Amino acid sequence: MNIRKTFLFCLTVALFFITPNGWACTTFNLQGVGFNLVGHNYDWPLKNGLLVINKRGVSKVAMLASKNEANFKGHPAQWTSRYGSVTFNQYGRELAHGGMNEAGLVIEGMALYDTIYPKPDSRPFVHRSQWAQYQLDNFKTVEEVINNDSKIRISPIYSGPGTHFMVSDRTGKCANIEFLNGIMIVHTGPEMPVRVLANDPYAESLEIWKNSTGAYYGNRFVKAANRGQKFKYQTLDTAVETAFDILHEISQSASTKWSIIFDIENLVIHYRTYSNPNIRYLNIASVDFSCKTPAQVLDINKGKTGNIKNRFIEYTFQNNRNLMKESFEKTAGIAGSDHPGFMEYINKLARYPDTTTCQ
């Protein structure tokens, strides 16, 4: 029994300290007249993942991240999704790595070791891995996301990296959002002269870029910023090609598992993976986001090439559990079949989407 308790404690810590937002990721925004593209590389040891069609009109209560009541001053956030979205998920449905909603809001997250989330207070809380989905469910503009900080907080963690985010919308606004020393730090407008974010605080990366000679090739932020400064828009097709070329230039070879382009202006997602380098795409406007129809998922490495609209299958507890089992086993270095309680715990986490209801 003591061994079992010790194992479950270690597993719980491992699961909730995992940052499913990458260890060397990069995001950039190319924006101008007639185009608004967000490019993102997901760099991580694992290649598996699901595209998830998340429905509007779904009532949710935030997932609890631990049993430590000191973290839970206040109460878990409750909301009903106003917008449907398509997200990229590696550690389970509702725990989105990033994505775009039907209003054109795009959020991508990246690991940031300097992160210190706010201390518990009376605001409702969400787990850091659910923050992106919460924003995509509720808002259509960058300004709304920023203003909502007074109403919601991320439950704190006490070990391992946190996450910072790039948020972009159809108005052309873009912001980098970080949590440093317990405070939300926002860079946008004039405070964000280059629309890039990697794995260091934005202010530090910006200073390195300003002091570089343009030949600082080892820094992904600098490389993406320089390419963005030189970008010349011709046609949408060439713009998407150039964005993928930038992602290729700043990739981490085999460690870059997903490369994604969000065409905000036209509500189209383009992506390719290390396992399947063919470019696939999905037009958000063609997706049925009514919660009266089942949620759908697609293996991120499948779909061959081209339009993936008809490739999705119905979401099930089983495909969610399979994804979580594989991801958590490999990330935490645990073989589920060798440890009592592992699948019991995974099953519990995988059933979280079953607590949501269509309104």
For the chain, give the percent of residues with pLDDT over 70: 87
Nearest to 282 by CA among 320, 248, 313, 308: 308
Nearest to 263 by CA among 62, 143, 144, 106: 106
For position 342, what pLDDT does the model report? 83
Residue 3 pLDDT class (50, 70, 90 cuts): very low
DSSP character string of 132-144: HHHHHHH-SSHHH
CATH homologous superfamily of domain 2-358? Penicillin V Acylase; Chain A (3.60.60.10)
Residue 38 pLDDT class (50, 70, 90 cuts): very high
Residue 8 pLDDT class (50, 70, 90 cuts): very low
Task: Evaluate if residue 66 carries a pLDDT over 60.
Answer: no
Tokens at 257, concatenated: 């598992």
Residue ranges per structural domain of the chain: 2-358
For residues 263-273, give the mean pLDDT.
98
State pTM to two decimals: 0.92
CB 117 within 8 A of CB 162: yes
For position 13, what pLDDT does the model report? 42
Q: Which residue(s) pair with 101 in the sheet?
A: 85
CB 20 within 8 A of CB 324: no
Residue 338 pLDDT class (50, 70, 90 cuts): low
**CA–CA–CA angle 165, 135, 199 (5° rounding):** 10
CB 103 within 8 A of CB 170: yes
Task: Evaluate if residue 263 carries a pLDDT over 50.
Answer: yes
For residues 296-312, give the mean pLDDT.
95
DSSP character string of 203-218: HHHHHHHHH--S--TT
Tokens at 157, concatenated: 């963690």
Number of helical H runs and strand E runs in the chain? 8, 21
Task: Evaluate if residue 16 carries a pLDDT over 90.
Answer: no
Residue bearing the bigger pLDDT, 157 or 330: 330
pLDDT digits (tens, 9 = 90+) for 165-198: 999 999 999 999 999 999 999 999 999 999 999 9
| Average pLDDT over all residues of the chain | 89
Residue 344 pLDDT class (50, 70, 90 cuts): confident
Residue 65 pLDDT class (50, 70, 90 cuts): low
For residues 301-320, give the mean pLDDT.
96
Mean pLDDT is lowest, of 4-18, 52-66, 177-191, 336-350, for 4-18
pLDDT digits (tens, 9 = 90+) for 135-149: 999 999 999 999 999
